Amino acid sequence: MYGFRVWLSAPPATAPPLPPSQISNHKQIATTSSDRPTFPTYNHSFDTSRSRLSSYTMTRLLFLLAALLSFFGAFGHAYLGEREIFPKLHPSAAGLNPPAVRILRVTWHTASLSFACWGSVLTMLACKSGLLSREDRYIVAGISVWYALTGIGCVKYWDRKKPQGWSFLAISGLIQLGLMLTP
């Protein structure tokens, strides 16, 4: 508590000047009035403080867009499964016993969980402050391949008119485009 009071107190009337080694690359603003003390100020330029690679961080926006679509797909898969598919699934008509229905429900939600996990990984890599390492790129490429194979399977073997397969292919394309544009 004592340090907080000292922090709120007024600055000393005369401040000792800093040695030149601590003021390098800084400008000291001097006032014309002799009753005010002069303090060194850090006057940096925004352009010189930016990283040379900071312009490339916006390409990871594609990773965030793919992650958003993954989260949307996870929620839609779980919600629509519980709302539309499982109530219409009568175990006696389908020839399933109650344990088989429970296993079907677990596997259904495991797929929803995998969409959410891939979205979480893409979100973490999109928000990473540094450059992507080789391992990060392999992870992103693996997620993209998983979405591409799932999309091809849905389009080829299920139905071309349903949007699920095409959304998987779109997510894979967004990830690949983001991977190509990210240094």
How would DSSP label each residue in 50-90? Answer: S-TTGGGGGGGHHHHHHHHHHHHHHHHHHHHIIIIITTT--
Q: How far apart are CA 178 and CA 183, in angstroms?
A: 10
This prediction's pTM: 0.62
Q: For residue 18, what are its two tokens? A: 């800093």
pLDDT tens sequence across 55-82: 444 458 889 999 999 999 999 889 988 8
Q: Please check whether residue 162 is in contact with residue 141, taking contact to mean a CB–CB distance below 8 angstroms.
A: no
The yes-or-no verdict on residue 179 having pLDDT over 70 is: yes
183: closest CA among 69, 47, 51?
A: 51
What Rg, from alpha-carbon coordinates, does the chain have? 29
Structure tokens at 8: 């709120």
Q: How far apart are the first and last CA of the chain?
A: 47
Least confident of 16-30, 60-74, 104-118: 16-30
Reply yes or no on whether the pLDDT at 5 is more than 70: no
* Cβ atoms 180, 61 nearer than 8 A: no
Cα 131 to Cα 65: distance, rounded to the nearest angstrom = 19
For residue 33, name the pLDDT band (cuts at 50, 70, 90): low
Counting every residue written for the chain, the total comes to: 183
Please list, in sequence order, all residues whose beta carbon lies within 8 angstroms of the beta carbon of residue 140, skipping any fewer than 6 positions away. 63, 122, 125, 132, 175, 178, 179
Give residue 148's identity as a one-letter amino acid code.
Answer: A
